[in-house]
Amino acid sequence: MEFTINPEYMTSVTIHKEWNSYTNNGRVPTDDELLLILQGKGKCSSTSSEDHPEFARLREQLGELGYIHIQRGQWNGDRVLKPFKLNGRKFKEGDRFSCGAALGTHFAVRAKHPEHYKDEDDDETMD
């Protein structure tokens, strides 16, 4: 089976969240807490990343169809259960199926430096 995805979706998206620790719990801050908030205290933020939504949909589809085993507890832990192609690149049973950003980089390097890779018809894997 062959699957395709636009290479621009083989990336990650940044998630940035900001909140105030004095108001995050859903209750109205006390007068003392309100003074701290006005002084700029209690500010919190986090930044993380996740697969582009289109890549995430493809990953879920591959999992539902039994092509990969999805590891939800770690990045780049998915494993191929049965062979398939993605944008012309072969994945064999046991291969790692990485996150969108890692695969996007791999595909871009292959395209830029094909002389360093076997032909697509070979049994080359990412591992």
Judge contact between 92 and 50, C-beta under 8 A: no
CA proximity to 72, closest of 52, 51, 93, 103: 51
Per residue in 9-39, pLDDT (tens digit) is 999 999 999 999 998 888 889 999 999 999 9
Task: Write the CA distances from 106 to 22, 33, 71, integer angstroms.
Answer: 44, 50, 20
DSSP 116: G
Per residue in 35-87, pLDDT (tens digit) is 999 999 999 999 999 999 999 999 999 999 999 999 988 778 899 999 999 99
pLDDT of 124 higher than 50: no
Separation of alpha carbons 13 and 100, rounded Å: 10
- In the chain, % helix, strand, coil (3-state, to 5) comes to 30, 25, 45
Judge contact between 99 and 126, C-beta under 8 A: no
**Mean pLDDT throughout 79-104?**
95
Which 3 state secondary structure label does DSSP give 71?
Answer: coil
Q: Where are the domains of the chain?
A: 2-9+52-116, 14-48
Q: Looking at per-residue confidence, does 115 or 126 come out higher?
A: 115
